[in-house]
Chain A
Amino acid sequence: MKNISPRTVIILLVLFGSLLYVLPSFHIDVWPHKKINLGLDLQGGMHLVLEVEAEKAVESTIERMGNDLRREMKTNHIKFANLERKAFQLHLNVLGRESIDKFNKVLDDEFQEFRIASQKEAGEQLAIVLDLPDSDVEEIKKKAADQALETIRNRIDEFGVSEPDIRRQGNRRILVQLPGVKDPGRAKDLIGKTALLEFKLVDDQHSVEEAIKGKPPLGTEILYQVVENRQTRRMSKSPYLVEKRTTLTGEYLTDARVNIDSQYNEPYVAIKFNKKGARLFERITESNVQRRLAIVLDKKIHSAPVIQERISGGEARITGSFTHEEAHDLAIVLRAGALPAPVHILEERTVGPSLGKDSIRKGIISMVIGGLLVIIFMVIYYQVAGLIADLALALNIILIAAGLAGFQATLTLPGIAGIILTIGMAVDANVLIFERIREELRVGKSPLAAVDAGYNKATLTILDANVTTLIAAVVLFQFGTGPVKGFAVTLSLGVIASLFTALIVSRQIFDSLLINRQLRSLSI
């Protein structure tokens, strides 16, 4: 070959470039360092879609404001009754003319956020319903979702998963993808835990048994401590009567670490409060010596130690028969903070690593068998031309692999199916061309003229046929999640690669054979 055509240069460049992108996936480290990403279904891992129960965040905000209102009314000696939250509303009755006036003043001065949903004055009594403006409710919901995303991200970062993918999906959904996670159950617990830490005083005045039978006294509730005996794996549940009022929450934490108790050799979680929290904790312990303070996590009591003395310095420990892992995970969730609202799992897909390996192996086996059958078939049917088509096919697969690595797309099991399908369909372009060339040869054209005419006539057809497949693939990509998206990606790459290999590469090979080698006949 004396003169190298620009087309040859382009082909060689593309080939060289794609090899550069493909090689790192086979552990040969060359420049781009980009490996093909394996989807969760191939490497194993967990895919979760969570929904933030944002209503709960609104409810707890209103609950908290209700508590503030109660406190304010008490300090101002306002007589009221039946203050309670129903869904997103606060209902209460204010009693007496004087109280009503004072109440209205408090409401105007201190609680401007509230919207008055309805009020009815009958005689000396005001029945009022308060709620929040819709824009505020939306704001709270949005914030809850944002904060939940942030908190979950922090927890996972601390848990240590390589390349997690955590993102918002729509308004209130969070997509979490954890490739290669070893213990999905543990990761799920870690993500899903609300981790609302509360300190509540235990009510010693009333008996728990009576409270269970009847109705718990005003301002108290029954919470349970669940202890699992690890030897017998029996659960024991003991009830506590605690004050509804929360004295202190996990909001004030600055740190949480796992330590080992030297006496019992059991892990516990050491927590540290910030300044404000430390002051609150000191005040609580000071005024409640000899009472029991329950440490409540997500409405479950972990322990309820007796306060021996005033504790200053803002440090405390959470005990409870933890395994080391449980303590470790608890420390993580406490450090990352509580979720502003509970989340629940809408969708979960977990694939074990062994299944992924199986899928890869089977995928490759079918690819090799399918590919070989097609290659052999093409050679038998078209002889030398078949060989050219096979070369184009091989290049096609390299191009798809390079495209996957280069665009950092994810290869999934349906994606492998897509590649295999492309093998079958990629020869289509060559078949179209070859059939055309045969037609032209039959008319009596010379090999060179026949090849030329064949390519010219087939090009438009091939373009039309492939564009429509591409349309289907793009729609699939838009609609798809995870694995299906992977299929759309390989299918699109395959279509584009086969256009290149059929219209440019195999054409060039024909040309160089016919022109440079001066072949008189064509084996097709």
Chain B
Amino acid sequence: MQFIQPDINIDFIGKRFIGFSISASLILISLFSLLLHGGPKYGIDFAGGTLIQIKFNTPTTVDTIQDALKPVGITGASIQQYGDATNNEYLVRADIAYKKLEGLSGKVQQALIEAVSETDDTETSSSTTESLETSESAVPTPTTQTVAQEAENSETEKTILPAEVRRIEMVGPQVGKDLREKALLAMFFALLFITIYISGRFEFKWLVSAVMAGGLMIGVYVIKAIGISMPFLIVFALILAMILFWCLRLQYAMGAIAALIHDVTITVGIFSIFDKEFTLPIIAALLTIIGYSLNDTIIVFDRIRENTRKLTRDTFDNVINKSINETLSRTILTSLTTLIVVLTLFLFGGGIIHDFAFAMIIGVLIGTYSSIFVASPILLLWKLK
């Protein structure tokens, strides 16, 4: 079986300006959306805050939860249904990190249980009696029941309560800021290490690229100590890196890194358009996208390197075009298999992994596109001079 015919010859290089304009407009849309939303939307990992995931045994409403949380001191929380409507599962997010978190989960649980018990009395009591088999006492109102139960027998507490706190995440603002900086630095460093490897492997410029990357790393560390905001620093460092690539003629590194920045920017932009949150797993996804897209790019580069030696008479344009075409079948196939598994993760992996899989889907698509339309054509920039 074959999807791509062996003698395929699409003129990718001839159409590179179409590719450039598509990429440019995608990046502009991404930046515009980021600007409109005031930067990326940070989840509690990076912004700090509290997230509580609760599963009720009986149906309840967002308003009930909202009211129940007021006495505990959580106001203005965003409450979302989580998963299927029949699950009765909710996510509560509040911006504040509770310094006095001790006992908060207990209080929240208590407040929510009481709220549920009060609103739908009939339903709750039926479900509580059912689960109350271990209790010796008769069946008074559900509220006192649970209270008495709690005092007597906290071992069985979890199975008897009409609600269960399944997950609590609380991140203090300082930790959030630390993580944000660490994430940015991680991506930046990954890019620099990759630069060294590519320049070394493809152009034998190990030393030049290592000195350049080392200089950038030290520079970022020194300037960081002065206390300049991290995002600006990284953006500036990346622009500087691009200029250095140009001056030092590290063309393969420039192509690859430009493609990676392209991929990450667009993924971040699409996240911003869909109003999705950045959490630690999303950073993991972005780094994987970097790895994946690079994988694709390198395979094309590898073929270009091989073909430049073989086809000495051809123009560089033709060599690149031929290389892309020769690897096209593999590019499509690998993207397909990766897409299959990422899609199953997206569909069956459950809530926590959902956004991760979403980021990966975008990343795989954009990464495949960029290795054909961004990374390789950039190699031609030097020829145009």
Contacts and interface: CB of A to CB of B under 8 A. Distances in A.
A133 interface: no
B342 to A, nearest CB: 7
Interface in B250-303: 280-281, 283-284, 287-288, 290-292, 294-295, 298-299, 302-303
B92 to A, nearest CB: 14
B348 A362 contact: yes
A392 to B, nearest CB: 13
A188 B102 contact: yes
Contacts of B186: 475-476, 478-479
Contacts of B193: 471, 475
B190 A369 contact: no
A355 B147 CA distance: 25
B342 A346 contact: no
A471 B348 contact: no
Interface in B312-345: 326-327, 329-330, 333-334, 336-342, 344-345
A250 to B, nearest CB: 20
B168 A348 contact: yes
A464 to B, nearest CB: 5
Given A230-B151, A460-B302, A472-B294, A184 B330 contact: no
B85 interface: no
B32 interface: no
Contact of B103 (A189, A363, A370): A189
B196 to A, nearest CB: 9
A366 B105 contact: no
B147 A233 contact: yes
A468 B294 contact: yes
B341 to A, nearest CB: 4
Given A362-B350, A464-B298, A380 B166 contact: no
A345 interface: yes
B349 A432 contact: no
A69 interface: no
A469 B165 contact: no
B154 interface: yes
A517 B368 CA distance: 39
Contacts of B340: 370, 373-374, 377, 424
Interface stretch (A21-29, A280-288, A480-488): A480-488
A440 to B, nearest CB: 12
A451 interface: no
Interface residues of A, number: 80
Contacts of A417: 281, 345, 349, 353, 356-357
B203 interface: no
Contacts of A185: 102-103, 105-106
A483 B167 CA distance: 15
Contacts of A377: 336-337, 340
Nearest to B290: A472
A425 B292 contact: yes
Contacts of A478: 186
A42 to B, nearest CB: 11
B298 to A, nearest CB: 5
Contact of A484 (B281, B299, B341): B281
Interface stretch (B34-42, B117-125, B169-177, B229-237): B169-177
Contacts of A345: 99, 101-102, 170, 172
Nearest to B50: A348
A49 B190 contact: no
A491 interface: yes
A421 B172 contact: no
Interface in A484-504: 484, 487-488, 491
A309 to B, nearest CB: 36
Interface string B105-117: 1100000000000
B1 interface: yes
Given A435-B330, A464-B302, A472 B190 contact: yes
B71 to A, nearest CB: 13
Q: Report which residue of B284, B298, B303, B348 has the largest number of chain A beta carbons within 10 angstroms of its beta carbon.
A: B284
Contacts of B298: 461, 464-465, 468
B333 A431 contact: yes
A413 B197 contact: no
Q: Report which residue of B197, B336, B348 has the largest number of chain A beta carbons within 10 angstroms of its beta carbon.
A: B348
B337 A468 contact: no
A325 B147 CA distance: 16
Given A377-B336, A421-B360, A432-B330, A366 B174 contact: no
A464 B193 CA distance: 13
B103 to A, nearest CB: 6
Contacts of A136: none
A349 B169 contact: yes
Interface string A349-375: 111101100110011011001110110
A323 interface: yes
A421 B103 contact: no
B194 A370 contact: no
Nearest to A386: B1
Contacts of A378: 337
A352 B167 contact: yes
A481 B164 CA distance: 26
Contact of B341 (A362, A420, A483, A487): A420
The 4 A-B residue pairs whose C-beta atoms are closest, nearest first, are A479-B186, A472-B291, A424-B338, A362-B350
13 contacts: A347-B172, A354-B164, A362-B348, A362-B350, A366-B345, A442-B6, A468-B194, A472-B194, A480-B280, A483-B281, A484-B281, A484-B283, A488-B284
Given A373-B341, A420-B341, A491-B291, 12 more contacts: A185-B105, A188-B102, A350-B169, A365-B348, A382-B1, A413-B352, A421-B338, A421-B342, A435-B333, A469-B294, A472-B294, A473-B291
Interface of A: 41, 49, 183-185, 188-189, 192, 230, 233, 323, 325, 344-352, 354-355, 358-359, 362-363, 365-366, 369-371, 373-374, 377-378, 380-383, 413-414, 416-417, 420-421, 423-425, 427-428, 431-432, 435, 438-439, 442, 457, 460-461, 464-469, 471-473, 475-476, 478-481, 483-484, 487-488, 491
Interface of B: 1, 6, 53, 55, 99, 101-103, 105-106, 147, 151, 154, 164-172, 174-175, 179, 182-183, 185-186, 189-190, 193-194, 197-198, 201, 280-281, 283-284, 287-288, 290-292, 294-295, 298-299, 302-303, 306, 326-327, 329-330, 333-334, 336-342, 344-345, 347-350, 352-353, 356-357, 360
